[in-house]
Amino acid sequence: MKRLVAFDLDGTLAQSKQPLTTGMATALAALLRVAEVAVISGGDWPQFERQVADRLPPGTRREGLWLMPTTGTKLYRYRDGWAAVYAELFDDAEKARIRAAFDQVLAAAPPEARLWGERLEDRGSQFTFSGLGQQAPIDAKETWDPDRAKRSALQAALQRLLPDLSIRLGGTTSIDVTRQGIDKAHALRRLSAESGIAIAEMLFLGDALYPGGNDAPARATGVDAIQVRDPAETRTAIAAIIACLAPASA
């Protein structure tokens, strides 16, 4: 029996950096009536708050929600308000090294014709590079690096400069830099330890579970996983999960 359902965020529950639709927020509220729910993604807490927490309808069982920003290096729970449970933060020396590496790599890369906001964001426990800037529109993001070639070249250059850190592609235009071993597998194991729910009692849904995708490491835990194409398919899966779990919870 599954006790917890974990989700990727962008591309799975919502479009990139967009808030949950009313329909998706309602679906998650219904799922929370029969199971615990976790959301694991590379965004920081302010993004999670805008995309997920602030979108939940009145009466949602928020106490059953585990929000894990920056690929699970942070955890937020609801107890009369949202509060951080833990945060695995970079120190100042690590941050300086990462910034210097990006400066060097980007200085050698072709300039972009247009940017929307800052490209490099310090999220405390993770640095995230957005190829077109943090506020780039979805249509521009989807056509910037569809074959991942631009980011793969940047990733390889960064890895040579930061061999002790993990550098992963995420979303449609982003590169995430964390300490080694930080991925969806790490997040699920940390979630299991914090919640007391075994991996075998979890289900994970993501849009990038294919080899090389940023959700793929989740499979290393042995978790049962469902590949979805987009938020619409996720809503269909949620309805099926509720139908399976509801009789046992009645």
Over the stretch 111-151, which tens digit does the pLDDT of each residue have?
A: 999 999 999 999 999 999 999 999 999 999 999 999 999 99
Taking the C-alpha atoms of residue 234 and residue 237, their distance in angstroms, rounded to an integer, is 5
Q: Are residues 76 and 128 in the same domain?
A: no
Domain that holds residue 136: 92-179
Q: What is the CATH number of the domain that holds 165?
A: 3.30.1240.20
Q: Are residues 9 and 120 in the same domain?
A: no
Q: Are residues 175 and 186 in the same domain?
A: no
Q: Are residues 175 and 189 in the same domain?
A: no
The residues, any chain, with a CB within 8 Å of residue 227's CB and separated by 6 or more, are 206, 207, 209, 210
Between strands 36-40 and 4-7, the pairing is parallel
Q: Are residues 151 and 78 in the same domain?
A: no
Do residues 133 and 115 touch, judged by C-beta distance below 8 A?
Answer: yes
- What is the domain count for the chain? 2
Q: Which of 129, 145, 179 is the last residue of a domain?
A: 179
Q: Are residues 102 and 129 in the same domain?
A: yes
Q: Are residues 67 and 146 in the same domain?
A: no
Taking the C-alpha atoms of residue 194 and residue 58, their distance in angstroms, rounded to an integer, is 26
Cα dihedral across residues 190, 199, 68, 78: positive or negative: negative
What are 74-112's pLDDT values in tens digits? 999 999 999 999 999 999 999 999 999 999 999 999 999
> Residue 16 has what pLDDT?
86
Q: Which of 179, 203, 233 is the last residue of a domain?
A: 179
Q: For the chain, give the percent of residues with pLDDT over 70.
A: 98
Q: Are residues 32 and 83 in the same domain?
A: yes
> Residue 32 has what pLDDT?
98
> Residue 132 has what pLDDT?
97
Q: Are residues 197 and 75 in the same domain?
A: yes
Q: Are residues 194 and 239 in the same domain?
A: yes
Taking the C-alpha atoms of residue 81 and residue 92, their distance in angstroms, rounded to an integer, is 30
Model confidence at 250, pLDDT cuts 50, 70, 90, reads: very low
Do residues 43 and 53 touch, judged by C-beta distance below 8 A?
Answer: no
> Residue 90 has what pLDDT?
95
Cα angle 214, 170, 136 (rounded to 5 degrees) comes to 155
Across the range 200-220, mean pLDDT stands at 95
Q: Which of 135, 155, 179 is the last residue of a domain?
A: 179
